[in-house]
Structure 1
């Protein structure tokens, strides 16, 4: 356990030139070692067998969910969410931390369930390209139109877009997309919840019955809060609170189905949000991490106050 960081000695969650699944695992081990109040659970496995981890922080009766890296090339959302969990944990035990005055009360009122990397196979593929580990290398290259550059890949390793996998007017989304075979993005599969990553997220959500859910994506500095007028009355108010805290725009989105946020609203009639973090092009450059985190963390902290 000699790798354990000490409180106040700098952040564990950092981003270098890339952020792979192994970086997540290394940082999770350090966080577990440093913060005894943080539980790390396995909620499922990816197509390639990688454990999909969920972090549980707090003991409060109100369950809140946050997830990241549903889309492979939006991998910067993983350290964004993980850094937030780290700062909350630090603030609950160290008096000089950013949210020290609030964190302890948050964690008595709320239990935060955070899944920082929903799509680990895709995250690695988007940054490393096809490697010897990929038994479907020829298919991946074919689906990527022969290119070895996977930096714009959003799907999982089956070529299925996980944010088109949820049973919320899935058929309409498939028709609108017009994509009928595996692809870097926008292919919703042969049916809802065929992919283990989407299934793991759906099962966790059903089991824990979250009051509020946020899914981190990139980019555009926008907050999507509605779905086919099925959202509860306070969703727009919450979206404007998040917008005020972060400087992002609350946007009423139409002509979009089958996403996690869509399904959460449809299934539970509770507030669900897609957060489009940062601005520019996907993938966002790692050099933007700290600036984007400064914005997103204020939004996530506001969610803890709801």
Structure 2
């Protein structure tokens, strides 16, 4: 038990009833718990910290990161920066190897299922390391010694919360959001951040060409590039982090289409296409040479560093994808995420 823990809170964290926890701790008095006291957690099977059966927002992610940090002290959980509304944007480091790789998710608010994807992967990867197990036949401890993985599981926390929970009249951006959304209180189709800027159109990689192509005059649910590159704190934080590390490879997870994009204006390194084919082979996704798209995070990374960058379009259908697709998405992309650490 640590400061702030409660008996009911511990039960909920491990998906137990209070009665189940009590049965395993008959000598514990729930009203007189001590810091440092040990409780026994009954475990008939593996306990998952990340609940994949519910909509996954910022609150759920932060609770899960707190739990995973306690379970696995070797995880380094820090902050990338803050969103427009002041929410911390978590940055997770796992591994200590000289090769550094970065994965991110939820640039777009209604693609929040990608945050669940990265969090479930983090739990599985960290758990396999802690228990000395393999994951998909890969020796995880060896991988962590050779590769450092940096995860940003939710780039756009304000937008994700808007999609999942809407905006009440006391929301600080309530009036603007209704105006941007055409008067509708249904924000399920919202991609942008809370100021109506598409964060994946914010990077200085032929930004003007993307602005003119989009031709969206002002803030809204999607496709507004902003007044200039990197005006939004979330995009600026991502750029600052990326410049601060010698990243060998990046992957940005989006939905949908079951495709992966690997090129940018012929600036990608010579090996990029072959690497994309390896990722396609292990996931069943189609590697696509994309044209007519600029100002995205992957585009900017390739332009700035001339290293491999990939956009992964998970699942298939209409955003936001239903949770019923999650098991298939995870099964398809677990091999891809592991392969990304080996490329």
TM-score normalised to structure 2 length? 0.86
RMSD of Structure 2 on Structure 1 (CA):
1.5
In structure 2, distance between residues paired with 1:305 and 1:238: 10
Aligned-pair CA distance for 1:183: 0.9
Counterpart pick for 1:49 among 81, 86, 100? 86
Counterpart pick for 1:92 among 96, 105, 129? 129
Aligned-pair CA distance for 1:99: 4.5
Aligned-pair CA distance for 1:64: 0.2
Aligned-pair CA distance for 1:206: 0.2
Higher relative contact order (CA 8 A, sep 6+): 1
In structure 2, distance between residues paired with 1:133 and 1:32: 33
Counterpart pick for 2:236 among 173, 176, 199? 199
Partner deviation per Cα, 1:63-103 (whole Å, 9 max, x = no partner): 10000000000000001011111111111122455347511
Aligned-pair CA distance for 1:180: 1.6
1:2-81 alignment runs, 5 A limit: 3=10, 9-81=46-118
Q: Does 1:169 align with 2:206?
A: yes
Larger radius of gyration: 2
Which stretches in structure 2 are left out of the alignment for 5+ residues?
15-40
Secondary structure at the aligned position of 2:135 is classed as coil
In structure 1, distance between residues paired with 2:170 and 2:144: 40
Secondary structure at the aligned position of 1:92 is classed as helix
Q: Does 1:281 align with 2:318?
A: yes
Partner deviation per Cα, 1:27-77 (whole Å, 9 max, x = no partner): 001100111111101010000000000110000011100000000000000
1:94–1:100 Cα contact (<8 Å) kept: no
Distance 1:95 1:60, change over 3 A: closer
Match of 1:265 in 2: 302
Counterpart pick for 1:113 among 144, 150, 175? 150
Would you say how many aligned residue pairs link Structure 1 and Structure 2? 306
In structure 1, distance between residues paired with 2:319 and 2:262: 22
In structure 1, distance between residues paired with 2:118 and 2:110: 15
1:90–1:97 Cα contact (<8 Å) kept: no
1:91–1:100 Cα contact (<8 Å) kept: no
1:246-265 alignment runs, 5 A limit: 246-265=283-302
Match of 2:247 in 1: 210
2:136–2:335 Cα contact (<8 Å) kept: no
1:231–1:270 Cα contact (<8 Å) kept: yes
2:132–2:140 Cα contact (<8 Å) kept: no
In structure 2, distance between residues paired with 1:9 and 1:131: 38
In structure 2, distance between residues paired with 1:63 and 1:101: 18
In structure 1, distance between residues paired with 2:187 and 2:111: 12
TM-score normalised to structure 1 length? 0.96
Q: Does 1:128 align with 2:165?
A: yes
Secondary structure at the aligned position of 1:77 is classed as helix
Aligned-pair CA distance for 1:138: 1.1
Partner deviation per Cα, 1:112-145 (whole Å, 9 max, x = no partner): 0000000000001011111245212111011111
